[in-house]
């Protein structure tokens, strides 16, 4: 580095330190920027009372929605945790940064592209204290999971702390609390009545299905209870009036056609934002309202940086949702699914306010392809196979048991919210289909989708062997049967 370059670097660091110090409560006596708290649920769609769901008890999130902004069209960019979390922690599509295959790059030094960092690093360098909270004070009946689950490695510590107690003395802060309740296996008190839950038409209406659906809703209710504990702690510590609260899920519901698939069930997430009383809300933020814009989880990242006074990094693909730097509304929300566990699919999808388009690059493979995680954790997955073999599924349900999948799917989600009437072959919808084909092609090219090349065969074989070693694969089951 030249002498001029070194002097410039020192000056930038000095300015950053001065800026952080000027905003420190220890020197200024006030917090000039809001604290930011992300409450991140796992595997949860918008099955909440404030979204119209029945047989679920979510008073905390409902109250949060009444005092904040509730988004009706928020989507994650991947229907599985590691790819989705890799995306929203960076504000980048997972396909653009090579993080698209589930739980990949855990044993190598796979770097993020130049100019891409996780949000806590941007926050830290701007004077924010960062935490991924696991530990709460005595009397709190749970711990945060501290889940990261990224498909890349971060050099150094990604957060300053994992203790809630550090937040009060280190402001402004950016913190996360992660909740696993709606991730299988479900462990929650029974509240929902299986006889009264609403079963989507693509699942068999069967006692197994009803019990499983009720258990999921109970898990959502339990997550709401624990979120209430966190918000009560925030209030007791005198932090609620200075903290932006953002509640969302890493991806959609953990049901057969939800998690790991690119329908609304796998990508549609709840999103609620509450603005604190001590700060004027940004332009366009109206407490107590419903926002119908198309929003991606990446936008939460970009918007959180904006709240902190941090200019959006040039490479970041998320969009700022509010304030003077609000960016244009999205016309489309995009999503992708690649290898999950040992199952290799490649789906890409685009959605506007009326239609969802899905392109399947592996249509020769069945929906119910071998997947040990699903087979061992999702009772309806196996039920569908059994009822198909017995000829007891109707035409809509039997689609999931076919030996192949459509190469293209197009759904009018405004008229067909369950996405069961595929319009890809409809002459009346040819113009819509062609439009979405072009939109998706451009997105793949412009974002440099790295999923166009599959992982090497030896990687897939390694994943399968690891499944066998965990006692979930066919070799282990065969051995146990002997």
**Domain extents for the chain?**
3-331, 347-455
3-331 CATH choice from 2.70.98.10, 3.40.30.20, 3.20.20.70, 3.40.720.10: 3.40.720.10
Note the pLDDT of residue 137. Answer: 83
Tell me the C-alpha distance between 406 and 424, whole Å: 9
pLDDT-above-70 percentage for the chain: 91
Is pLDDT of 5 > 90? no
Tell me the C-alpha distance between 371 and 384, whole Å: 14
Note the pLDDT of residue 471. Answer: 59
Q: Are 352 and 336 in contact (CB under 8 A)?
A: no
Note the pLDDT of residue 14. Answer: 37
**Average confidence (pLDDT) over 453-462:** 91
Tell me the C-alpha distance between 459 and 105, whole Å: 11
Q: What is the dihedral of CA 442, 83, 432, 70, to 10 degrees?
A: -120
Tell me the pLDDT tens digit for each residue of 167-186: 999 999 999 999 999 999 99
Tokens of 211: 């019990």
Q: b vs e for 338-356, b when ≥16 Cβ sit within 10 Å of the residue's Cβ?
A: bbbbbbbbbbbbbbbeebb
Tell me the C-alpha distance between 379 and 173, whole Å: 41
Note the pLDDT of residue 138. Answer: 79
Tokens of 4: 């001029």
Facing residues of 131 across strands? Answer: 161, 175
Tell me the C-alpha distance between 22 and 399, whole Å: 61
Other CB atoms closer than 10 Å to residue 359's CB: what's the count?
Answer: 22
DSSP class of residue 464 equals H
Tell me the C-alpha distance between 35 and 169, whole Å: 12
Taking Cα atoms as reference points, which of 59, 56, 61 lies closest to residue 41? Answer: 61
Tell me the pLDDT tens digit for each residue of 313-348: 999 999 999 999 999 999 999 999 999 999 999 999
Tell me the C-alpha distance between 63 and 33, whole Å: 24
Is pLDDT of 476 > 60? no
Is pLDDT of 24 > 80? no
Q: Are 214 and 181 in contact (CB under 8 A)?
A: no
Q: Rounded to the nearest 5°, which phi and psi values hold at 18?
A: -65, -40
Could you tell me how many helices (H) and strands (E) the chain has, helices first? 15, 12
Tell me the C-alpha distance between 58 and 406, whole Å: 37
Taking Cα atoms as reference points, which of 138, 134, 139, 140 lies closest to residue 167? Answer: 134
Tell me the pLDDT tens digit for each residue of 353-393: 999 999 999 999 999 999 999 999 999 999 999 999 999 99
Tell me the C-alpha distance between 266 and 3, whole Å: 53
Q: How confident is the model at residue 440 (pLDDT cuts 50, 70, 90)?
A: very high
Tell me the three state secondary structure of residue 129.
strand
Name the one residue in this structure whose structure tokens are 């166009």. Answer: 452
Tell me the three state secondary structure of residue 92.
coil
Tell me the pLDDT tens digit for each residue of 287-300: 999 999 999 999 99
Tell me the pLDDT tens digit for each residue of 104-114: 998 888 889 99
Tell me the pLDDT tens digit for each residue of 442-457: 999 999 999 999 999 9
Q: What is the dihedral of CA 367, 371, 374, 377, to 10 degrees?
A: 160
Tell me the C-alpha distance between 181 and 131, whole Å: 21
């Amino acid at each position: 580095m030249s002498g001029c370059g070194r002097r410039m670097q020192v000056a930038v660091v000095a300015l950053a330190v001065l800026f952080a110090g000027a905003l420190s409560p220890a020197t200024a006596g006030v917090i000039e920027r809001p604290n930011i708290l992300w409450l991140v649920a796992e595997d949860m769609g918008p099955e909440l009372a404030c979204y119209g769901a029945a047989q679920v008890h979510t008073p905390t999130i409902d109250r949060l929605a009444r005092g904040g902004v509730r988004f009706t069209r928020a989507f994650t960019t991947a229907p599985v945790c590691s790819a989705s979390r890799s995306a929203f922690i960076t504000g980048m599509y997972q396909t653009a940064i090579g993080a698209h295959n589930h739980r990949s790059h855990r044993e190598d030094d796979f770097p993020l592209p130049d100019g891409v960092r996780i949000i806590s690093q941007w926050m830290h360098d701007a004077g924010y204290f960062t935490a991924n909270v696991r530990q709460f004070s005595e009397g709190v009946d749970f711990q945060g999971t501290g889940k990261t689950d990224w498909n890349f490695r971060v050099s150094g510590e990604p957060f300053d702390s994992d203790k809630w107690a550090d937040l009060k003395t280190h402001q402004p802060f950016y913190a996360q609390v992660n909740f696993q309740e709606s991730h299988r296996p479900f462990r929650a008190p029974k509240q929902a009545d299986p006889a009264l839950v609403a079963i989507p038409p693509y699942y068999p209406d069967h006692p197994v299905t009803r019990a499983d659906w009720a258990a999921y809703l109970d898990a959502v209710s339990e997550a709401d209870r624990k979120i209430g504990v966190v918000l009560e702690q925030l209030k007791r510590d005198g932090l609620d009036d200075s903290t932006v609260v953002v509640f969302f899920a890493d991806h959609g519901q953990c049901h057969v056609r939800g998690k790991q698939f690119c329908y609304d069930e796998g990508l549609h997430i709840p999103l609620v934002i509450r603005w604190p009383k001590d700060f004027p809300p940004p332009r366009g933020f109206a407490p107590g309202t419903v926002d119908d814009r198309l929003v991606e989880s990446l936008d939460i990242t970009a918007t959180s940086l904006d709240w902190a006074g941090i200019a959006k990094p040039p490479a970041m693909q998320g969009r700022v949702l509010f304030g003077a730097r609000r960016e244009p509304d999205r016309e489309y929300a995009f999503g992708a699914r690649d290898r999950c566990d040992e199952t290799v699919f490649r789906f890409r999808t685009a959605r506007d306010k009326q239609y969802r388009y899905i392109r399947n690059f592996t249509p020769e493979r069945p929906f119910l392809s071998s997947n040990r995680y699903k087979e061992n954790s999702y009772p309806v997955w196996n039920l569908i196979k059994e009822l198909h073999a017995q000829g007891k599924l109707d035409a809509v349900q039997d689609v999931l048991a076919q030996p192949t999948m459509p190469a293209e799917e197009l759904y009018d989600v405004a008229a067909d919210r369950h996405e069961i009437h595929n319009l890809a072959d409809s002459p009346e919808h040819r113009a819509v289909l062609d439009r979405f084909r072009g939109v998706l092609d451009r997105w793949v090219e412009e974002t440099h989708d790295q999923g166009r090349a599959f992982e090497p065969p030896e990687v897939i074989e390694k994943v399968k062997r690891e499944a066998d070693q965990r006692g979930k694969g066919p070799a282990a089951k065969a051995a146990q049967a002997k």
